Amino acid sequence: MMADADAAAAFAVLGQKWNGIILHTLATRPARLGELRQALGSISTKMLADRLRELVGADLVTQAQLPLGSATYTLAPTVGPAARPGADPLPVQAPQHLAPPPPRRLEIPMSQRALPEATFARTVLGSGPGLALAHGAGSSIDNTYGPILQGLAAHHTVVGVDYPGSGDTPRSTTPLRLDDLADQLVAAAVAEGLETFAAAGYSLGGLVAMRAAARHPERVSALVLTATLPYHDNRLALATPIWAKLAETDRELLSKFLVMMAMGADALEYLSEEQLQQALEITAANIADGTPEHAELAGRADVRDDLPHIKAPTLVISTTQDWFTSTRLHRQIADTIPGAQLVEIPTGHLPMVERPEEWQKLITDFLAKHSA
């Protein structure tokens, strides 16, 4: 039997709303945070994470880290039979309208590959079929999709994640992994209640979306890939070290490099001297802190082996005046993903700046035929 102080502490934890139900649910089998949230229904992700921390701290639940960075939670061996399958649920302060669920096995998640806890900052808008957004290197969801976000959210539940060093996601202290970005994109969509969803990726985000479709085919129902690439060609291999170095040392010079490389020849020549200066200032102000890591990843990521195995209907949007990612690379993606369609848009690397309405229409028209 526990000492009085230990017993008092344990029952203080058990008296917290949801904790008894969580223990009773874990008694059926170990589970990850996302699995528990699905099983419990109305609990929020933040509330569940807080309660799990309390239970781990009280030695009622154990937490084990998995290879991909996610955690699995298990009922501690010291927990008595009251929480075991077949027993009555432990006492909890649950809402009166919500009775504790009977003992049952957790549903097996749709994807066969384990998902990490969704930790990246995310944007969630709209309603309807799911659409997960992956942004470009050195950018964020707002800066990549800002001009078309509301248009996309008019008919979709949009979930976009900001990579480390973008938006409110802390910068990484280690090199980024494409698998991690892809898993975080999927985990964020699942955390928002989307079982299946389309994925749209721009530039580096296209690599993220393709890897997500390859790793989680049961989740990704359609792909839209814009101004992206299957691997770094020689042009990008030369450009990315310059990009990364200038991001650390000279953002004013980097803005000139980016505007020169990213804008199409027609749009760039159309700018007046004043407009060009404004473009440079805006670009410099919006360079993400994590740009060095993003550029480094763009310079080594390779999804060529994934392409033949992608089953989702795919639209490749080729930006025909693009200096960062060439039309040759766009065509290689479309030729290798089974059944992929290719359409062209006469812009540089920035369709959201040069032709946002046309870009949005290409995306939404395709998704209307392939909604999750």
Strands (E), 31-121: 31-32, 61-65, 71-75
Give per-10-residue mean pLDDT for the chain (372 aa).
44 66 80 72 70 80 54 69 45 39 41 85 96 97 96 97 97 96 98 96 98 97 98 93 96 96 94 94 94 96 96 97 95 97 97 97 96 62
- pLDDT at position 70: 44
Q: Burial-class residue 263 by CB neighbours within 10 Å (0-12, 13-18, 19+).
A: buried
- Spell out the residues 6+ positions from residue 59 whose beta carbon is closer than 8 angstroms to its own: 76, 78
What is residue 43's predicted lDDT score, i.e. its pLDDT? 73
How far is Cα 261 from Cα 336, in angstroms, rounded to an integer? 27
The two structure tokens encoding residue 73:
């939670």
Contacts of 5 (CB under 8 A, 6+ apart): none
pLDDT for 79:
60
298, exposed or middle or buried, with CB in 10 Å at 0-12, 13-18, 19+? buried
Query: What confidence score (pLDDT) does residue 186 get?
Result: 98
**pLDDT given for residue 92 in this prediction:** 39
